[in-house]
């Protein structure tokens, strides 16, 4: 069995381009307190840094390292493996995909990172032709996470969104299907759209996103297209009751989509309605 080494946090560097966010939130507070009381029970996985063999690149354990810093711990336990960049990339992705709460942007960049690594490994090992390797990569990832290869490709498309639109997706203000359509817009047009969204205090519907995508494909986009579309009044817009996502997010897992939140809210209202009905029936007896 491989020995665990104690490595100074000062000698650790993040994996270049790792797709997962390390945020100072409630989950981090819990992890920090656990590490402060019990230490790191699950050792990190690291590899020697390519440009500085005296330092180590984190493959698995970015959140644990951050929590250890917050807890005032100077050294952490780790397994050191002489992994290639592509081997490490696959492990970086796979070691985090089991997490319950993964943001759309995290999935997007994780799937892209793994697809590129599998593609490179296929080329070097002559397992398949260059043009066929990406297809095999998405099929492998789909099998690993239990979804379809088309879903994997749609997530990877999200990496073409500008950061501000990706943030809105992570916050649940833009639906996954809308984000996929907007990812086909040139980046300048995406920023035009953001400005139009701010001016009209709204986000694009799926229908509007499709129309923008089609206009981009036809070369018919100009600086006014996004503004004209976002100024449109959506059906029943005046009759809608709106909640900001941050007003609801504490009641639902971070990974919930807008559709899942809506479904749970309606189910809860139905339960409340039945409870009130029973109370009225008791009062009438």
Residue 122: closest CA among 86, 72, 173 = 86
Q: How far apart are CA 155 and CA 141, in angstroms?
A: 12
Q: Specify the higher pLDDT residue, 249 or 70.
A: 70
Tell me the per-residue pLDDT of 19-35, one tens digit each, with 9 for 90 and over. Answer: 888 888 888 999 999 99
Rg (CA), the chain: 23
- 246 or 240: which leads in pLDDT: 246
Domain boundaries, the chain: 1-83, 85-160, 161-236, 248-284
- Residue 14 DSSP one-character state: P
| CA 73 centroid distance within chain | 29
Q: What 8-state DSSP symbol labels residue 15?
A: P
CA dihedral 224, 192, 232, 176 (to 10 degrees): 140
Can you give the pLDDT at residue 169?
A: 93
The better pLDDT of the pair 122, 82 is held by: 82
> Which of 255, 283, 266 lies closest to 102 in space, CA to CA?
255
Q: Is the pLDDT of residue 179 over 90?
A: yes
Average pLDDT of the chain is 84
Summarize pLDDT for 270-283 with one digit per residue, the tens. Answer: 888 888 888 777 77
CATH architecture of 1-83: Alpha-Beta Complex (3.90)
Q: What is the 3-state secondary structure (H, E, C) of 100-128?
A: CCCCHHHHHHHHHHHHHHHHHHHHHHCCC
Average pLDDT (71-93) is 92
Binned at pLDDT 50, 70 and 90, residue 242 comes out as low
Q: According to the model, what pLDDT value does residue 183 have?
A: 96
At 126, the pLDDT band (50, 70, 90 cuts) reads: very low
Q: Is the pLDDT of residue 172 over 80?
A: yes
Strand-pair category, 5-8 with 75-80? antiparallel
- pLDDT category at 5 given cuts 50, 70, 90 is very high
pLDDT at 234 over 70: no
Of 2 and 200, which is predicted with more confidence? 200
Gap between the Cα atoms of 68 and 76, Å rounded:
8
End-to-end CA distance of the chain: 72
pLDDT in tens, 129-158: 333 445 578 888 888 888 898 999 999 999
**Which range among 5-14, 81-90, 237-246 shows the weakest confidence by mean pLDDT?**
237-246
* pTM of the complete model beyond 0.75: no
DSSP label of 186: -
So what's the pLDDT on residue 256?
81
């Amino acid at each position: 069995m491989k020995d665990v080494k104690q490595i100074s946090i000062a000698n650790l560097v993040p994996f270049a381009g790792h797709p997962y966010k390390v945020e100072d939130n409630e989950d981090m507070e819990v992890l920090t307190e656990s590490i402060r009381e019990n230490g790191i029970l699950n050792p990190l996985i690291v590899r020697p840094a390519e440009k500085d063999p005296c330092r180590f690149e984190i493959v698995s354990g970015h959140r644990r390292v951050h929590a250890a810093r917050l807890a005032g711990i100077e050294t952490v336990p780790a397994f050191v493996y002489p992994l290639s960049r592509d081997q490490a990339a696959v492990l970086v992705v796979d070691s985090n995909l089991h997490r319950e709460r993964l943001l759309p942007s995290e999935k997007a960049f994780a799937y892209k990172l793994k697809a590129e690594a599998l593609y490179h490994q296929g080329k070097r090992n002559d397992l398949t032709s260059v043009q066929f390797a990406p297809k095999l990569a998405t099929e492998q990832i789909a099998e690993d996470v239990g979804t379809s290869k088309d879903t994997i490709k749609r997530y990877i498309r999200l990496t073409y969104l500008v950061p501000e639109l990706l943030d809105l997706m992570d916050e649940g203000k833009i639906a996954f299907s809308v984000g996929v359509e907007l990812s086909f817009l040139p980046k300048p047009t995406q920023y035009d759209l953001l400005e139009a969204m701010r001016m009209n205090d709204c986000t694009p519907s799926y229908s509007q996103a499709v129309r923008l995508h089609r206009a981009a494909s036809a070369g018919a986009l100009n600086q006014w297209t996004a503004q004209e579309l976002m100024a449109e009044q959506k059906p029943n817009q005046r009759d809608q009751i709106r909640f900001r996502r941050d007003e609801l997010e504490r009641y639902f897992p971070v990974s919930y989509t807008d559709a899942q939140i809506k479904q749970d809210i309606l189910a809860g209202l139905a339960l409340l309605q039945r409870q009130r009905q029973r109370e009225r029936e008791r009062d009438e007896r």
